[in-house]
């Protein structure tokens, strides 16, 4: 019962043709449909629902919304009541309001990000099928990512005014939506002033991460690859296409992921991410990092400070 996984993100992009070239020919997604508003819908080969990424020609960059899939349609009723009881306005949306989805609910997180929950989305299936499947499909383009893995949001924090929406959004996600806290970065000895958090609704280290910033924004969206060699190959493909790089292949100590970061043509930060990190469970003790050690947590190999990595968001 409750939330299953991240279902899709809706990104603002500038030049739609450039964005499609990036996400199809370089990342390896497939276009599945378009709507009357000019939005394009894409999925990765190892996903079964109709799409996980929406490209909205809205000038970009930035995030329109993030959507999560719940297990049962009645979960929407239960969660809408819980969300409303916490003083958050909930909108009910009819089938089709979210493209190829059943009915949905929408609301704003304490951080200001728009989130939707839905139970049904059109089914397409994995590119390899389900009967005696091959380990990967022929004809993959670019890096051939497996699925949309996670999203990191930037949340407004103003210590002078006593505002920290990393804390309030983390609490909302855990207490109301049933997320679990895998890791956190704290700025105080008591571990209460969270600078960043990594949350999950499954068994991987995170589906959703939150980080402190000057406003409501998107830090990155991440696509899953099988292993370290696939990350290196993905970085080679980025190099061949002269994609603007942010972080060349590196190891995270936080979540133990293997990673490379880069930007799409509109300026939205992307990540290719490998490694499941560890077996996350609700009773797992939360891993805590002190803010003074954050750079070793993010960039384990050398721990070099990169303030722009945290400050640059859309």
Q: Following DSSP, what letter does each residue of 92-130 receive, concatenated?
A: EE-TTSSTTB--EEEEE-TTS-EEEEES-B-B---TT-S
- Going through 159-257 in order, the beta strands assigned E by DSSP cover 163-164, 180-186, 194-200, 208-213, 217-225, 245-251
Residue 141 lies in a domain: no
Whether 207 has a pLDDT exceeding 80, the answer reads: yes
Same domain, 153 and 108: no
- Report yes or no on 133 lying in a domain: no
In 10 A of CB 263, how many CB atoms?
Answer: 19
pLDDT given at position 310: 94
Query: Does 111 share its domain with 193?
Result: no
- Alpha helices per DSSP H over the chain: 16-20, 73-85, 165-175, 228-240, 294-298, 307-311
Number of domains in the chain: 2
Tell me which residues are annotated as active site: 150, 206, 220, 252, 261, 271
> Does residue 46 form part of some domain?
yes
Task: Report how far residue 149's alpha carbon sits from residue 208's, in angstroms, rounded to the nearest whole number.
Answer: 9
135: in domain: no
Tens-place pLDDT, residues 210-249: 999 999 999 999 999 999 999 999 999 999 999 999 999 9
102: exposed, middle or buried (C-beta count within 10 Å: 0-12, 13-18, 19+)? middle
Q: Which residues contact 174 (CB under 8 A, 6 or more apart)?
A: 180, 181, 199
Task: Determine, yes or no, domain membership for 131.
Answer: no
For residue 230, give the DSSP letter: H
91 plus 166 within the same structural domain? no
| Residue 296 domain flag | yes
Tally of CB atoms within 10 A around 93: 15
Euclidean distance between CA atoms 229 and 233, whole angstroms: 6
Confidence of residue 159 (pLDDT cuts 50, 70, 90): confident
Distance CA 265, CA 140 (A): 21
Q: pLDDT for 47-74, tens place per residue?
A: 999 999 999 998 889 999 999 999 999 9
Answer yes or no: is pLDDT of 7 > 80.
yes
In angstroms, how far is the first alpha carbon of the chain from the final one? Answer: 33
CA neighbours closer than 13 Å in the CB half-sphere of residue 1 = 6
Q: Which of 118, 135, 163 is the last residue of a domain?
A: 118
**In-domain check, residue 126:** no
Q: Exposure of 281 by Cβ count < 10 A (0-12 exposed, 13-18 middle, 19+ buried)?
A: exposed
Q: What is the mean pLDDT of the chain?
A: 96
pLDDT at 60: 82
Query: Mean pLDDT across the stretch 4-13?
Result: 98
In CATH, what number is assigned to the domain containing residue 74? 3.10.180.10
The pLDDT value given to residue 162: 85
Same domain, residue pair 101 and 156: no
Spell out the residues 6+ positions from residue 302 whose beta carbon is closer than 8 angstroms to its own. Answer: none
State pLDDT tens for residues 129-151. Answer: 999 999 999 999 999 999 999 99
Say if 140 falls within a structural domain: no
Cis peptide preceding 224, ω within 30 of 0: no
> What is each CA distance from 148 to 39, 110, 189, 303, in whole angstroms?
18, 24, 35, 27
192: which residues sit within 8 A by CB, 6+ positions away?
Answer: 167, 186
- Which residues span the domain enclosing 95? 3-118
- 172: phi > 0 → left, psi -120 to 50 → alpha, else beta; which? alpha
What's the pLDDT score for residue 189? 75
CB 11 within 8 A of CB 155: no
Judgement on whether residues 230 and 92 belong to the same structural domain of the protein: no
- Does 107 lie in the same domain as 198? no
């Amino acid at each position: 019962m409750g939330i299953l996984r991240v279902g899709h993100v809706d990104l603002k992009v500038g030049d739609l043709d450039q964005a499609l070239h990036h996400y199809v020919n370089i990342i390896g997604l497939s276009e599945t449909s378009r709507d009357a508003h000019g939005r394009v819908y894409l999925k990765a080969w190892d996903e079964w629902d109709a799409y996980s990424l929406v490209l909205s020609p809205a000038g970009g960059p930035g995030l329109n919304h993030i959507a999560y899939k719940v297990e049962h349609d009645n979960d929407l009723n239960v969660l809408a009541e819980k969300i409303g009881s916490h003083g958050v306005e909930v909108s009910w949306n009819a089938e089709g309001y979210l493209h190829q989805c059943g009915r949905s609910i929408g609301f704003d997180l304490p951080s200001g990000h728009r989130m939707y929950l839905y139970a049904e989305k059109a089914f397409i299936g994995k590119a390899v099928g389900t009967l005696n499947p091959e380990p990967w499909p022929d004809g993959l383009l670019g890096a051939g990512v497996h699925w949309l893995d996670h999203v990191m949001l930037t949340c407004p924090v103003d210590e002078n005014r006593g505002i920290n929406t990393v804390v309030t959004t983390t609490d909302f996600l855990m207490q109301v939506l049933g997320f679990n806290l895998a890791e956190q970065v704290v700025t105080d000895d008591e571990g209460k002033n969270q600078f960043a958090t990594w949350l999950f609704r499954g068994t991987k280290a995170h589906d959703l991460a939150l980080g402190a910033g000057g406003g409501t924004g998107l830090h990155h969206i991440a696509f899953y690859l099988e292993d370290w060699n696939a990350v290196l190959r993905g970085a080679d493909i980025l190099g061949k296409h002269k994609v603007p790089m942010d972080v060349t292949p590196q190891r995270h100590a936080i979540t133990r992921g293997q990673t490379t970061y880069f930007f799409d043509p509109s300026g939205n930060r992307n990540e290719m991410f490998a490694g499941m990190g560890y077996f996350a469970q609700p009773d797992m003790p939360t891993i805590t990092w002190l803010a003074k050690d954050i750079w070793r947590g993010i960039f384990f190999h050398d721990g070099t400070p990169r303030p722009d990595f945290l400050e640059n968001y859309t």
